[in-house]
Structure 1
């Protein structure tokens, strides 16, 4: 999981070309959610230590800084995920349509990527990686 997060957050920070596997996208989202809970926990601890709500404010501030720093990598991994299923990165804008947009984007995000090379690049999921992921060679 850490490798997928590092890939999305640091290695491909602003890379809007190419393709991203489902695992890269969803592990990035999972790590972001876990960091959110770490910030909440940190806020609770700081609040208990300081005895005021200042600790919670500090934790919220840190989370906001993280959120700002992760906007571009988040957009980049989402665009690459759209590329993996053969859609343009502009498809992400569908999520702005109330109610139906986010549901449609969620369906696209959980859809398996196209096999083989497509317009956006080679398949990021090779047969060897797929076998290793399943655990056959382990």
Structure 2
């Protein structure tokens, strides 16, 4: 769990970084921690009748989520604009498949393989 939190905080440290590449582990660890926090905040909101907590968190995490998704798409060799698939019906499913693909083993136009760097 500690490693998941480290990856989560790492994404927050790269809040506005839309260039480079992100490993699958970075993206999915961030996504898992984000999901756990979202569920906890939604439960707290329902318990106390204050829906503001999860709404504020959702707004705060929007840009880091898009940034890590763009970097993840770069890792598989796709342009970050593919993240817009999430805006069309059923496009989110295609996007999730892309985000689950293994990254390119060698350097690509977006940078070195993040696995080789770390």
Query: Is TM more than 0.5 here?
Result: yes
Q: Distance in 2 between matches of 1:22 and 1:109?
A: 7
Deviation at 1:97, TM superposition (A): 2.5
Where does the alignment leave 5 or more consecutive residues of structure 1 unmatched?
48-54, 130-138
Q: Which residue of 2 aligns with 1:4?
A: 7
Where does the alignment leave 5 or more consecutive residues of structure 2 unmatched?
none
Q: Distance in 2 between matches of 1:42 and 1:103?
A: 29
Supply the RMSD in Å over aligned alpha carbons: 1.6
**In 2 relative to 1, CA 43–97 (structure 1 residues): closer, same or farther, beyond 3 Å?**
closer
Contact 1:79 1:92 in 2 (8 A): yes
Where does 1:30-45 land on structure 2 (aligned, <5 Å)?
30-43=32-45
Deviation at 1:126, TM superposition (A): 2.0
TM-score by length of 2: 0.89
Q: Distance in 2 between matches of 1:43 and 1:69?
A: 16
Q: Which residue of 1 aligns with 2:72?
A: 81
- 1:15 aligned onto 2:6: no
Contact 2:76 2:103 in 1 (8 A): yes
> Please, which moves more after superposition, 111-120 or 30-39?
30-39
TM-score by length of 1: 0.77
Larger CA Rg, structure 1 vs 2: 1
Aligned residues: 115
Q: Deviations over 1:75-100 (max 9, x none)?
A: 1000000000000000111222312x
Contact 1:40 1:56 in 2 (8 A): no
Where does 1:1-138 land on structure 2 (aligned, <5 Å)?
1-9=4-12, 11-43=13-45, 47=47, 55-57=48-50, 60-99=51-90, 101-126=91-116
